[in-house]
């Protein structure tokens, strides 16, 4: 293989575009920048397929989550016609679909990404269909160990962000986009509108914020199945007029630069890459202490074999840039 580029396939079954798809994009572009051949296997009509194709990646699509006989056959023919050296499954359904479709076909390395901090529902798939599991945090790693995945087949590779997107962000531009007056305090949540992201708690907490800062605004960047219910909650609590529902956004760095606080209210979180962007932008952070979040914010030590971090100080923390203070 030293005489030619590696041939890598990145598989995703997600229809929308969330943090996991952004990480897959960064991975694909990083591989391409280093001279490797990277192609995409993705759900037909989904945002991942469309955006990766537009970015110049060879893209093979399949129906639904890739589990139907027709989809599996299509994937298998693709592996036979275009052999790969590395198969990277970016989500659990992708592991099942691409893993089953490639059984019996020589692929030197099969990688499964584990992006969440709860125990795998089908650990056998990770043991049978993957040679190695890449976890986005020590918390995700611990859940994989709890599920019986051998320790020697698990590594931790933290999510990353493109720092160039952060350094070119503009607070003035972001505040114009959000139509915020100079004196208006603003909070931002960058998360899909799903139950695990904790927006109900966030909206309830914002009621108390408004009691102290009546002109504050809460900006919600993200789309999802809970939007109707969350908007109804905001109306019942009398705060809907001071919430901005932006849906999915591609200008998140400008939004982070525009606000005063980045808020993450998740009840479970593999890592939380928006926190990395907020720290690079020197924004204050208020977050729940779940999943891999403490590993980013340094609010409790990692496992000794992963890294050395400052000891846990307890309590609740605000983080701004490289500062940590109770």
Mean pLDDT by 10 residues, the chain (326 residues): 86 89 94 95 93 95 91 94 96 95 94 92 92 95 94 94 89 95 95 94 95 96 93 96 93 95 94 92 93 85 42 35 37
Q: Which residues, at least 6 apart from 68, have a Cβ–Cβ distance to it below 8 Å?
A: none
Lateral strand order in the sheet of 318-320: 243-247, 217-221, 186-190, 261-264, 284-287, 318-320, 323-325
Note the pLDDT tens digit of each residue in 122-150.
899 999 999 999 999 999 999 999 999 99
The answer to whether the beta carbons of residues 186 and 258 sit under 8 Å apart is yes
> Coil, helix or strand for 238?
coil
Amino acid 15: pLDDT: 87
Q: Do domains 7-156 and 169-325 have the same CATH topology?
A: yes
Looking at the structure, give the CATH architecture of the domain made up of residues 169-325.
3-Layer(aba) Sandwich (3.40)
The answer to whether the beta carbons of residues 305 and 142 sit under 8 Å apart is no
What residues does each domain of the chain span?
A: 7-156, 169-325
Q: Cα(first)–Cα(last) distance of the chain, in Å? A: 51
**The domain defined by 7-156 carries CATH number 1.10.10.10:** no
Strands 323-325 and 318-320 turn out to be antiparallel
Helices vs strands, H then E, count in the chain: 13, 14
The DSSP secondary-structure symbol of 222 reads B
Output the six-digit token pair for 320.
């701004």
If one counts every other C-beta atom within 10 angstroms of the C-beta of residue 72, the result is: 19
């Amino acid at each position: 293989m030293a005489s030619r580029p590696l041939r890598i396939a990145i598989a995703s079954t997600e229809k929308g575009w969330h943090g996991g798809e952004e990480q897959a994009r960064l991975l694909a572009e990083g591989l391409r920048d280093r001279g490797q051949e990277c192609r995409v296997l993705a759900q037909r009509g989904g945002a991942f397929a469309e955006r990766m194709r537009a970015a110049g990646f060879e893209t093979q699509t399949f129906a639904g989550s890739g589990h139907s006989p027709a989809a599996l056959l299509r994937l298998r023919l693709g592996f036979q016609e275009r052999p790969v050296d590395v198969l990277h499954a970016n989500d659990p359904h992708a592991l099942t679909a691409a893993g089953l479709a490639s059984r019996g076909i020589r692929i030197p390395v099969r990688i499964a990404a584990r992006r969440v901090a709860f125990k795998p529902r089908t650990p056998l798939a990770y043991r049978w269909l993957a040679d190695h599991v890449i976890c986005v945090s020590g918390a995700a790693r611990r859940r994989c160990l709890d599920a019986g995945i051998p320790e020697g087949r698990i590594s931790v590779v933290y999510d990353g962000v493109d720092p160039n997107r952060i350094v070119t962000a503009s607070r003035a531009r972001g505040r114009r986009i959000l139509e915020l007056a100079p004196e208006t305090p603003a909070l931002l949540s960058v998360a899909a509108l799903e139950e695990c992201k904790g927006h109900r708690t966030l909206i309830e907490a914002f009621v108390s914020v408004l009691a102290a800062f009546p002109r504050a605004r809460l900006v919600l960047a993200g789309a999802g199945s809970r939007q109707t219910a969350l908007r109804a909650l905001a109306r019942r609590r009398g705060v809907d007029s001071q919430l901005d529902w932006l849906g999915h956004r591609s200008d998140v760095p400008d939004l982070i630069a525009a606000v005063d606080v980045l808020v993450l209210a998740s009840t479970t979180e593999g890592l939380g890459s928006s926190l990395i962007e907020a720290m690079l932008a020197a924004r204050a952070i208020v977050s729940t202490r779940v999943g891999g979040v403490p590993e980013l914010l340094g609010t409790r030590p990692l496992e000794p074999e992963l890294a050395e971090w400052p000891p846990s100080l307890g309590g609740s923390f605000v983080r701004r840039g490289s500062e940590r203070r109770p």
